[in-house]
Amino acid sequence: MITESTVLVNRYFDSVFLMRVAKRLNDQPGIEQAALVMGTPKNVQILAEAGFDDIDALGASSNDLVVSLRAESVERARLMLDDLEPWLVRDSNRPTAQTVRSIEQAIAQQPQSNIALVSVPGEYATRQARQALDSGLNVFLFSDHVSIEDELSLKSMATGKGLLLMGPDCGTSIIGGVGLGFANAVRRGDIGVIGASGTGIQEVTSLVHRWGSGISHAIGVGGRDLSDDIGGISTLQAMDALERDPNTSVILVVSKPPGPETVARVKERIDACSKPVVTCILGGVGGLPDLKNATTTHNLDDAATAAIRLAGGIRVDEESTVSPDRVKIERAKLRTTQKYVRGVFSGGTLCYQAQQVLRDAGLSVHSNEPLEKGMELSDSSSSLEHTLLDMGADEFTEGKPHPMVDSRQRIQRILSEAADSDVAVILLDCVLGYVAAEDPGGDLAAAISDARSIAKRRGENLSVVASVCGTELDNQGMEAQVRVLEEAGAIVFASAFQAARFAAQLVIGEEQ
Amino acid sequence: MDQETGIDRLLATSVAAVNIGVEDFAENLEAQSAQVVHVNWTPPAGGDPEIIAILDKIL
């Protein structure tokens, strides 16, 4: 394999668009890997570290597009690199919003504007968010790599103006039925959600929808909001707003355990809330002790169920395709040497929740994003005993597409896990919704059946257990996605929690 | 009753968004029939952080 790169001077493209182009280039014959990034010093460094030679010599700047290919031959790479323009054209069938050059122009064009979505590279994000707040707009800050000092400063500024700053690194919100970022299409209803993570919000809002209720608003606050550095500024603001909102009757808060100093503030606020509150603190048992006015849960299924009940509804389960004796049937197919669960996740919170499920079942779980520090993998590229991987973490996404947009890295990982004869179960998520891949189930299906074939060749049955996060209203279609995964040989559950519990049950006998 | 804030107005009315960055987000808002104007953003001052800091001080 060789590497070749080129620079297109003064051509700026956003990161999600570049991920899609990279995905399509990756699928071309003779191309092993395509990396498309803007030429910021950080991106250039990432490419250099990834083995793209001579990238420094190209002298790219932040406004220049860098395209690097790992290919079977120089000729093949040059053929692509010399004719990139057709790949850089947006799909003309997609809707095109009115386009302007600045926030001021946007507000002049649309004076009723009430929120800015900011998804520029991290180093410019604070500046754009500040401009938006100064213009009187609430902010959905998708960008990551915003410093904790900048987050505190932006949130303090927002509070002073009576505005909300969602994020940074905010993947998902739903405001009045409109999904922002990576969100699922869900029914409107009277359950208001406050969430520190994108996939946590996606899973819980999808479950509320599928189990018969609906969402008034789902407000992402960013993963660090409940840390002691930030003190829960956005969470508390969101709680005030949902308490005042006439369309919200129940408030559901999803988070990892708050910082020790923030716990008291959040507890006080929840206790004083005039509406019923459900808390879902993942990872640690406890977190918010002795709440007077709240239903405490520790997984997304229980959280959705409690919120539905408090809103006066009844959870209506879909018909399960997994029979109750399936654990027994699957266990009977395992060899005694097949002992381990390997999770290959695209959603960080779904990985985190699965670790909790396995831990609570008595298993020790390694991860690149571990529940407990001591269980951190020293090398994310190789798994150890029970391992659950968050493939959306920085080490897998720097200079490469996020697994919710492009399953390529997950597919490679699924196949390498299948090559390990100690593995009993591969545990997967499949996240649907706005901006996600067009057919994530289809992308994973071939890998699932290949993985099972690899195990079969050595006389083993490899269980693949999956869940689909989404609704029938999502463009990808819930039913079709479940079907394609099942046809590939996966056992598909209604939620990530149920899938993780099943995976734990499959291996638990070996550990006892 | 406390004064209505910008957050209250956001939750009480329809989303009217200004999108700065990822164009897919604007397309998705359009597809959901939400109001959106897309800002065709590029790094200011050629992306040079020192010049940006100077500009921020002057302007």
Q: pLDDT per residue over A464-486, tens digit each?
A: 999 999 999 999 999 999 999 99
Give the tokens for residue A269.
């606020």
B18 in reach of chain A (CB within 8 A): yes
Return the pLDDT at A253: 97
For the stretch A61-75, pLDDT in tens is 888 999 999 999 999
What band does A511 get if pLDDT is binned at 50, 70 and 90?
very low
Task: Give the ipTM.
Answer: 0.91
pLDDT at A93: 66
CA angle A175, A180, A182 (to 5 degrees): 130
Three-class SS state of A92 = coil
User: Over 90: is that where the pLDDT of A269 sits?
Assistant: yes
Side chain identity at A318, as an amino acid letter? E
Note which residues in 30-59 of chain B have CB less than 8 A from chain A.
Answer: 30-32, 34-44, 46-49, 52, 56
Q: How far, CA to CA in Å, does A311 sit from each of A192, A201, A243?
A: 10, 18, 14
Say how far apart CA A158 and CA A152 lie, in whole Å: 10
Between A90 and A446, whose confidence is greater?
A446
CB of B8 less than 8 A from some CB of A: yes
DSSP 8-state secondary structure symbol assigned to residue A31: E
Q: In the predicted model, is pLDDT for residue A56 greater than 50?
A: yes
Mean per-residue pLDDT for A446-454? 97
Q: How many CA atoms lie within 13 A of B14 on its CB side?
A: 10
Portion of chain A with pLDDT greater than 70, in percent = 97
Give the one of A17, A178, A241 whose C-beta lies nearest to B8's C-beta.
A241
Domains in chain A with CATH codes: 2-88 (3.30.70), 100-169 (3.40.50.720), 171-317 (3.40.50.261), 326-511 (3.40.50.261)
Q: Would you say A207 and A187 are in contact if contact means Cβ atoms under 8 Å apart?
A: no
Distance from CA of A103 to the nearest CA of B (A): 7
Whether B15 and chain A come into contact, CB under 8 Å, resolves to: yes
Token duo for residue A377: 């993998």
DSSP state of A195: E
Query: What mean pLDDT do residues A70-95 have?
Result: 88
Task: Identify all chain B residues contacting A14, using CB atoms and an 8 Å cutoff.
Answer: 21-24
- Interface probe for B, chosen from A15, A92, A115 (most Cβ of B below 10 Å), is A115
pLDDT at A285: 58
Q: Contact, A280 vs A302, CB < 8 A?
A: yes
- Taking a C-beta distance cutoff of 8 angstroms, is the pair B7, A242 a contact? no
Contacts of residue A237 in chain B, CB cutoff 8 Å? 7
Question: Does position B1 have pLDDT exceeding 50, yes or no?
Answer: no
Residue of B nearest to A436 (CA): B24
Band (A426; pLDDT cuts 50, 70, 90): very high
Q: Which residues of A209-245 are buried (b: 16+ CB within 10 A; e: fewer)?
A: bbbebbbbbbbbbbbbbbbeebbbbbbbbbbbbbbbb
- The region of weakest confidence among A192-196, A378-382, B53-57 is B53-57
Minimum distance, in Å, between the CA of residue A187 and any CA atom of chain B: 13
What is d(CA B9, CA A81) in angstroms, rounded to the nearest whole number? 49
Angle at which helix A122-134 crosses helix B49-58, to 10 degrees, equals: 20
Closest CA relative to residue A128, chosen from A254, A186, A120: A120
Give the 3-state DSSP-derived string for A138-163, with helices as H, strands as E and coil as C. EEEECCCCCCHHHHHHHHHHHHHCCC
* CA–CA distance, A500 with A355 (Å, rounded to integer): 8
Measured CA to CA, the distance from residue A113 to residue A102 in angstroms comes to 13
pLDDT at A305 over 60: yes
Whole-model pTM: value is 0.93
pLDDT score for A95: 64
Tell whether the model's pLDDT for residue A490 goes beyond 80: yes
Nearest to A113 among B16, B22, B44 (CB): B16
> So what's the pLDDT on residue B36?
97
Buried residues in A108-147 as b, exposed as e (16+ CB within 10 A)? eebeebbbbbbbbbbbbbbbbbbbbbeeebbbbbbbbebe
Closest CA to A428 of A375, A382, A488: A488
> Inter-chain contact A164–B32, Cβ cutoff 8 Å?
no
Q: State mean pLDDT over A392-406.
A: 88
Residue of B nearest to A243 (CA): B8
Rg, C-alpha atoms of chain A: 23
- The pLDDT, as a whole number, for residue A373 is 83
What pLDDT score was predicted for residue B59? 60
> In this structure, what token pair is assigned to residue A371?
């529940």
Q: Are A150 and A158 in contact (CB under 8 A)?
A: no
**Chain B nearest-CA residue for A111:** B16
CB distance B20–A62 less than 8 Å? no
pLDDT tens digits, one per residue of B10-28: 999 999 999 999 999 999 9
Test B38 with A99 for CB contact under 8 angstroms.
yes
How close, in Å, is residue A162 to chain B by CA atoms?
Answer: 5
